[in-house]
Amino acid sequence: MKLLKILIPAAVLCSAQAAAETPRLSLWITEAIGATDAGQCAQPALHSEMKLAALRAKISDRIDDADIAFWNPATATWTLGDAATPASDRARQIADHCFVLWINGKPTAAGVALWTHSARLVHMPVLGVSVADGALSLRLGAQHGASPNPPLAFEGINEVLKEKPARAAESNPRQD
């Protein structure tokens, strides 16, 4: 009985610490798309444990909710905070790569990260990448090169990021 009184609080403490360390939003940047049509980035990867395990091995960058400084629900755009890597360099590491977005531990969207000014027309989720005033901003949309392009997974992203301050939308973002 005494052992249970010791083990139960310890287990609760460990699970609380693990929950606090697990990001509620995690964006995996995986393989470069090169000259392909980005078909390797498509949604079916979300429904296969084997494909998710293979993607986990290809992560080249990872962005968690703690890395996000601003959330603008009016434009469904999130802006990364100060990082060791300049925004333009990090943007180049993200653009033209596949991504998987996790919200609350579940894969929510998979697609391709493209510069917002990219001429590619793709019919899959797109993470728009832009740099303005030295800040890297991202926006998840349903597709690229088509209008309208409604935000994707807005409710889940907003639930995680709603406490972040809003940053004024840039009227003319520059892509480096």
* Rg for the chain, CA atoms, rounded: 18
The average pLDDT across 23-41 equals 90
- The predicted-structure confidence for 69-80, as pLDDT tens digits, reads as follows 999 998 889 999
pLDDT in the model for residue 18: 44
What is the value of pTM for the model shown? 0.77
pLDDT in the model for residue 175: 44
Nearest to 27 by CA among 75, 74, 59: 59
pLDDT at 16 > cutoff 50:
no
Nearest to 176 by CA among 141, 139, 132: 132
- The predicted-structure confidence for 108-147, as pLDDT tens digits, reads as follows 888 999 999 888 888 888 999 999 888 999 999 887 765 5
Please state, in angstroms and rounded to a whole number, the distance separating the CA atoms of residues 117 and 8.
54
The structural domains of the chain, with segments of one domain joined by +, span 23-161
Nearest to 166 by CA among 76, 84, 85, 90: 76
pLDDT in the model for residue 120: 83
Nearest to 146 by CA among 174, 173, 125: 125
